[in-house]
Structure 1
Amino acid sequence: MRAASALVDTALDRSVVLGFTRLGLGVRSHLPGWPADPAPQALLGRHVAVTGASSGLGAATALGLARLGAQLHLVVRNPEKARPVVARIVTEVPTAVVEVHRCDVGDLDDVRRFAASFESPLDVLVHNAGVMPPSRTESQQGHELAMAVHVLGPVLMSELLRPRERVVLVTSGGMYAQRLRADDPEYLTGRYSPTTAYARSKRAQVELLSILDRRWEASVWATHPGWADTPGVADSLPGFRRLTRPLLRDAEGGADTTVWLSAVDPAPPGGSLWHDRRRRPPHFSPTTRSRPGDVARMWRWVCEQIGIEETSPDKGGAER
């Protein structure tokens, strides 16, 4: 039965449409071998931060973590937008402890300010904040915005906060269509496409996982949520949403694996991509595999932009 379940799971994954939609999660969650939910109160006493937690996947992730007893830190650009999220959490989980912190993840100076002001010992950090501007946009430091929000800001924040247990980067299945562009990380050549820029930055997240997992004391994973019906999708991909809305997952379904990885015990090995509680291959096609030296080149660029040492020592030996 387990072998047959694995075949069905893989077939769903490779089909994309079936695997990424609510159908994939619905079928997989009823297959033999579906990983068990984390234990009740699995995160009791742990401090967990979620970026981009004012709506969509971030809000659903925060609620899921609160149900498991986490002491939550919602990291958002606009604290006012986080108020309904906090209200929903404390209504459903009256014992929840929730703090809201202002930070623009794409602004490296703001990330440094936030990290310097953060006083709690952090156990788990979920990087969920995301952007897809319609035209090429630059951050406060002059970086292409998708790369700043999805790669530079998260790496710097994790480097400064050093979570003690886990780091989860919420990526996108769109990265399967792109290879790592270490030759043009700022998207300075060619005609700019918002979906391509988004996917390139998400590809960079996945390609750097093994380096980040070795560098930090925490286990590091990326999760892709599949296709979920969120405000971000509605704003950035309205045509896609119109065509696929009957099949889209809700935000809670999209956040399921992020919440699961944040709390499951024992934690699986880090440095890998996950979807629907299973480790997934980082490539569907050989054409997206990185060229020799490209991952090291991209890591060198990231280190230069955020001002950290390039070395990637074993866990426990990272520069603080």
Structure 2
Amino acid sequence: MRPLPLPVARGIDTALDKAVVPGFTRLGPAVRRRLPTWPEDARPGALAGRTAAVTGATSGLGLATAEGLARLGAHVRLVVRDTDKGERVRQQLLRDVPGAVATVDRCDVADLEDVRRFAADLDAALDGGRLDVLVHNAGALPAERTESPQGHELTMAVHVLGPVLMTELLRDRLAGSADSRDARVVLVTSGGMYAQPLRADDPEYTRGSYSGTTAYARSKRAQVELLPVLASRWAGQRIGAHATHPGWADTPGVVDSLPGFHRVTGPLLRDAAQGADTTVWLAATEPTPPSGRLWHDRRARSPHLLPRRTRTRPADRDRMWSWVREATGLD
């Protein structure tokens, strides 16, 4: 059978994405992997001698990401709130991945003071060494409006403020040099952000009736809209800023937070490894992927499925970034 022409393959890939259900479910990678447009896997041992940190690494996408990075040779640092659970996951990782190296680090990403403490501890632990990959996977979807220790709406604290501050504090450890490859910072976002515009006018969600799923989607929209700002800010130190959305994956977070969605879509959901595939690929593939983009199933995607509803004005992006800088105390 003759392979499909590349324009046809790209058209099929795009159609899957625009149709949402087939593209976001397990059908997406099942079809795309058979297309000539599917990128090659990272080479075996691509991350040997490198260090990767993954937040929220004790279950679901975070655990699958940690395992994928370990299989490529990385020393994986499991950044978790519950160190006892983190240690159990570490032991599981050592059993499942021959030769794996993993370390448990404690951090509550929602607590900006704890992020500062963690970054200082990690800086000391690396002892002048480099952090090559930082995956911001930790997530939250509260049923009611909840505030972080600093008084910020929880989803914004976990998905935006904590990751930005953590990366900023670790910039010297992430910075590349002439003889090293660019560092990779990956924000694990969500397809839910396609349904929400950037709410720079109300980042703390203080207006209207609060919805956890809406708050979650708004914070994920903020992650993606800030990518150009972050990519530009970190480019001088050769730190790439990327975002991935995993599609619809069967994870404990989905079961706990969206039980109705899980009941309806269960048979079609991706497993955690399928959901984490692009994150792991971005962390290890060569050459370095372009910074400042949203990725899904190993291809850069538009951040808008409904442009008229979600298109962001530069002034709104600037306003959101100003709020992030003020909330985190960045220069």
One-letter amino acid of the counterpart of residue 188, structure 2: V
> Which residue pairs with 1:190 in the alignment?
208
Q: Find out whether 1:257 has 2:278 as its counterpart.
A: yes
Q: Over residues 102-151 of structure 1, what are the superposed CA-to-partner deviations in whole Å (9 max), with x where a residue is unaligned?
A: 10000000000000111212111000000000000000000000000000
In 1, Cα distance between equivalents of 2:95 and 2:65: 16
TM-score where L is the length of structure 1 = 0.95
> Which residue pairs with 1:74 in the alignment?
78
In 2, Cα distance between equivalents of 1:35 and 1:292: 32
Q: Aligned-pair RMSD on alpha carbons?
A: 0.8
> Which residue pairs with 1:314 in the alignment?
none
Q: Find out whether 1:289 has 2:311 as its counterpart.
A: yes
> Which residue pairs with 1:304 in the alignment?
326
One-letter amino acid of the counterpart of residue 123, structure 1: D
Q: Find out whether 1:176 has 2:176 as its counterpart.
A: no
Q: Find out whether 1:241 has 2:259 as its counterpart.
A: no
Q: Tell me, which stretches of 5 or more residues in structure 2 are unaligned?
A: 176-182
Instruction: Say which of 91, 95, 100 aligns to 1:91.
Output: 95
In 2, Cα distance between equivalents of 1:198 and 1:115: 25
In 2, Cα distance between equivalents of 1:188 and 1:255: 33
Q: Find out whether 1:161 has 2:182 as its counterpart.
A: no
Q: Over residues 225-282 of structure 1, what are the superposed CA-to-partner deviations in whole Å (9 max), with x where a residue is unaligned?
A: 0000000000000000000000000000000000000000101110000000000001
Question: Is the 8 Å Cα contact of residues 132 and 195 (structure 1) preserved in structure 2?
Answer: yes
Task: Give the secondary-structure state (helix, strand or coil) at the position aligned to 2:217.
Answer: helix
Instruction: Say which of 222, 232, 239 aligns to 2:243.
Output: 222
Question: Is the 8 Å Cα contact of residues 44 and 69 (structure 1) preserved in structure 2?
Answer: yes
Equivalences, count: 309
Q: Find out whether 1:270 has 2:274 as its counterpart.
A: no
Q: Find out whether 1:205 has 2:223 as its counterpart.
A: yes
Task: Give the secondary-structure state (helix, strand or coil) at the position aligned to 1:293.
Answer: helix
Report how far residue 83 of structure 1 moved: 2.9
Q: Over residues 59-117 of structure 1, what are the superposed CA-to-partner deviations in whole Å (9 max), with x where a residue is unaligned?
A: 00000000000011000010112233212221122321110001000000000000011
1:114-133 alignment runs, 5 A limit:
114-118=118-122, 119-120=125-126, 121-133=130-142
> Which residue pairs with 2:180 in the alignment?
none
In 1, Cα distance between equivalents of 2:98 and 2:278: 24
TM-score where L is the length of structure 2 = 0.92
In 2, Cα distance between equivalents of 1:160 and 1:292: 26
Structure 1 segments of 4 or more deviating over 4 A? none
Question: Is the 8 Å Cα contact of residues 172 and 226 (structure 1) preserved in structure 2?
Answer: yes
In 2, Cα distance between equivalents of 1:192 and 1:81: 31
One-letter amino acid of the counterpart of residue 29, structure 2: L
Seen in structure 2, the aligned counterparts of structure 1 residues 95 and 135 have a Cα distance that, compared at 3 Å, is same
Task: Give the secondary-structure state (helix, strand or coil) at the position aligned to 1:59.
Answer: helix
Report how far residue 292 of structure 1 moved: 4.2
Question: Is the 8 Å Cα contact of residues 55 and 82 (structure 1) preserved in structure 2?
Answer: no
Q: Tell me, which stretches of 5 or more residues in structure 1 are unaligned?
A: 310-320
In 2, Cα distance between equivalents of 1:251 and 1:84: 18
> Which residue pairs with 2:179 in the alignment?
none
Question: Is the 8 Å Cα contact of residues 48 and 73 (structure 1) preserved in structure 2?
Answer: yes
In 2, Cα distance between equivalents of 1:243 and 1:252: 21
One-letter amino acid of the counterpart of residue 79, structure 1: T
Task: Give the secondary-structure state (helix, strand or coil) at the position aligned to 2:294.
Answer: strand
Question: Is the 8 Å Cα contact of residues 212 and 220 (structure 1) preserved in structure 2?
Answer: yes
> Which residue pairs with 1:46 in the alignment?
50
In 1, Cα distance between equivalents of 2:86 and 2:267: 28
Report how far residue 215 of structure 1 moved: 1.0
> Which residue pairs with 1:140 in the alignment?
149
Task: Give the secondary-structure state (helix, strand or coil) at the position aligned to 1:105.
Answer: coil
